[in-house]
Amino acid sequence: MKVATKEIQRVEAPPLIDRIGNTPLMPLKSPNPQVQILGKAEWFNPGGSVKDRAAKFIFESAIASGQLTRDKILLDATSGNTGIAYAMIGAALGYRVALVIPANVSDERKKIVRAYGAELILSDPLEGSDGAILVARDMARDAQKYFYADQYNNPANVDAHYRTTAPEIWAATRGTITHFVCGVGTSGTLMGAGKRLRELNREIKLIEVQPADELQIIEGLKHMESAIVPGIYRAELADKQIAIETEAAYREAHRVAREEGLFVGLSAGAAIAAARKIAQEIDAGIVVAILPDGGDRYLSTALWA
């Protein structure tokens, strides 16, 4: 006698890269009761940072255009987070990845990149991200071997935030955002999200965050006056530029961990410091700050020493 068995329906989970985006807005303490500060918690992306967005769009556009094929290696310079995103997506899609990273980036970032199977080339720590760019450009001359993603000049970097980050913020705040605070490294987040938010409401103020000078080291951010300026960067887009010292970024990262239970990275600390400064300067509003990554990427650094 046959026993009737119920057919088991297989449910496939969405691909890993479909999990990128739709990160939450976290309320943060504000020094002004009339101003709400919200942090966009980008460490909720599967690769742990805001850079998942750009890496996804860069991969997809390069594959669609035929620039990245199975016989080529995706190559780029990175301070860590974009590299992790490239390595993760490359592993998921079956593409090889090679990354030039300054030797002094956190041990966590280097170990994560290697865990995904990407090739790691360490550049001079004293030359920072600019030194990594120069090494990557030299390697990219071998066009038969490499597809040079060039996140600092790739329009897909901007497009990622124009099409995802800004619409998410607009929807989550129901169009009530008054100020957008964002640090600049490649500048893709500010250029893309800022442009789209401006289109949605011309009154939204765009606030650009940079290290106070070339001696202030905030991993992931560039002091544009002393650095190789990304081709996608437009200085005229922002309404205001706020210069943050490394110590101020440290203080805010420590404060939100101990007072608000949010474990954030150094560039997030800088963004929060800038957002609080804006809150003290305006009468009322809703300030949204991009928090690029979590504090776990910095455990081996001076931030948590």
Is the same domain home to 178 and 300?
yes
Is the same domain home to 181 and 134?
no
- Residue 102, domain extent: 51-148
pLDDT at 154 over 90: yes
Note whether residue 172 is domain-resident: yes
pLDDT-derived band at 219, boundaries 50, 70, 90: confident
Is the same domain home to 67 and 138?
yes
> Residue 123: how many CB atoms within 10 A of its CB?
22
pLDDT at 1 over 70: no
Sign (positive/negative) of CA torsion 232, 238, 243, 247? negative
Is the same domain home to 38 and 182?
yes
Mean pLDDT of 204-215: 96
pLDDT at 8 over 80: no
Highest average pLDDT, of 9-18, 105-114, 264-273, comes from: 264-273
Is the same domain home to 114 and 172?
no
Is the same domain home to 121 and 190?
no
| Pairwise CA distance, residues 17 & 19, whole Å | 5
pLDDT at 86 over 60: yes
Note whether residue 3 is domain-resident: no
Mean pLDDT of 170-193: 98
Q: What is the pLDDT of residue 305?
A: 82
Of 119, 148, 177, which residue is a domain's last?
Answer: 148
Which active-site residues does the annotation give? 51, 267
pLDDT at 2 over 60: no
Pick the more confident residue, 219 or 60.
60
Task: Write the DSSP symbol of residue 16.
Answer: G
97: domain CATH number is 3.40.50.1100
Q: What is the pLDDT of residue 217?
A: 87
Is the same domain home to 173 and 293?
yes
Token couple for 180: 């957008």
Is the same domain home to 190 and 290?
yes
Pseudo-torsion of CA 77, 83, 88, 91, nearest 10°? Answer: 30
Note whether residue 160 is domain-resident: no
pLDDT at 3 over 50: no
In the chain, pLDDT over 90 holds for what percent of residues?
89
Q: What is the pLDDT of residue 202?
A: 97
Note whether residue 10 is domain-resident: no
pLDDT-derived band at 5, boundaries 50, 70, 90: very low
CA angle (279 as vertex; 81, 226 as ends), nearest 5 = 45
Is the same domain home to 291 and 181?
yes
| Pairwise CA distance, residues 298 & 303, whole Å | 7
Of 117, 148, 179, which residue is a domain's last?
Answer: 148
Note whether residue 7 is domain-resident: no
Note whether residue 129 is domain-resident: yes
Q: Which of 227, 226, 281, 279 is nearest to 252 (CA)?
A: 279
Note whether residue 2 is domain-resident: no
Is the same domain home to 139 and 274?
no
pLDDT-derived band at 189, boundaries 50, 70, 90: very high
pLDDT-derived band at 12, boundaries 50, 70, 90: very low
pLDDT at 9 over 80: no
Domains contained in the chain, number? 2
Distances (CA, A) of 257 to 13, 244, 278: 33, 19, 21
Is the same domain home to 56 and 40?
no
| Pairwise CA distance, residues 107 & 65, whole Å | 35
Note whether residue 186 is domain-resident: yes
SS3 state at 88 = helix
Is the same domain home to 177 and 88?
no
pLDDT at 6 over 70: no
Q: What is the pLDDT of residue 14?
A: 55
Of 93, 116, 148, which residue is a domain's last?
Answer: 148
